[in-house]
A and B are shown apart, each in its own frame.
Chain A
Amino acid sequence: METKSFPGVVDSLDELRDYIGELAQKAGLVKKSTYSLKLAIDEIATNIILYGYERTGLKADFTVLSEITEDKLTVILEDVAAAFDPLSREMPDHEDLTMALEEREIGGLGIFLTINGVDDFSYEYKDGKNRNIFIMKIVKS
Chain B
Amino acid sequence: MAFKIETEIDELVAKMTLVGELDSLSARVFMTEIEKIADKSILSLVLDMEKLDFMSSAGLRVLIFSKQKIGPQLSIFIVKPQELIVDTLEKTGLHHSVTIVDQYPV
In this complex, the interface size class of chain B, counting residues with CB under 8 Å from chain A, is 20 to 34
Chain B interface residues toward A at CB < 8 A? 1-2, 21, 23-25, 54, 56-58, 60-61, 63-65, 67-68, 71-72, 76, 84, 87-88, 91-94, 96-98
**Residue A102 contacts which of B21, B60, B72, B87 (CB distance < 8 angstroms)?**
B72
By a CB distance below 8 angstroms, the chain B residues around A11 are 25
Bound CA span A43–B61, Å: 13
Bound CA span A11–B92, Å: 26
Closest to A38 in B: B54
Please give the distance in Å from B23's CB to the nearest CB on chain A: 5
Bound CA span A113–B94, Å: 13
Contact A14 B84 (CB under 8 A): no
Contact B88 A46 (CB under 8 A): no
In this complex, the interface size class of chain A, counting residues with CB under 8 Å from chain B, is 20 to 34
Closest to A100 in B: B97
Tell me which of B23, B63, B91, B97 has the highest count of chain A C-beta atoms within 10 A of its own C-beta. B23
Contact B92 A109 (CB under 8 A): yes
Contact B63 A101 (CB under 8 A): yes
**Residue A109 contacts which of B1, B2, B61, B76 (CB distance < 8 angstroms)?**
B61
Which 3 A-B pairs give the minimum distances between C-beta atoms?
A: A97-B93, A101-B67, A109-B57
**Residue A43 contacts which of B21, B56, B84 (CB distance < 8 angstroms)?**
B56
Bound CA span A17–B93, Å: 25
Contact B56 A101 (CB under 8 A): no
Contact B91 A42 (CB under 8 A): no
A26 at interface by CB-CB < 8 Å: no
Bound CA span A3–B98, Å: 41
Please give the distance in Å from B59's CB to the nearest CB on chain A: 10
By a CB distance below 8 angstroms, the chain A residues around B61 are 106, 109
Contact B68 A102 (CB under 8 A): yes
Bound CA span A32–B61, Å: 22
Contact B21 A17 (CB under 8 A): yes
Please give the distance in Å from B4's CB to the nearest CB on chain A: 13
A69 at interface by CB-CB < 8 Å: no
**Residue B24 contacts which of A39, A46, A106, A109 (CB distance < 8 angstroms)?**
A46
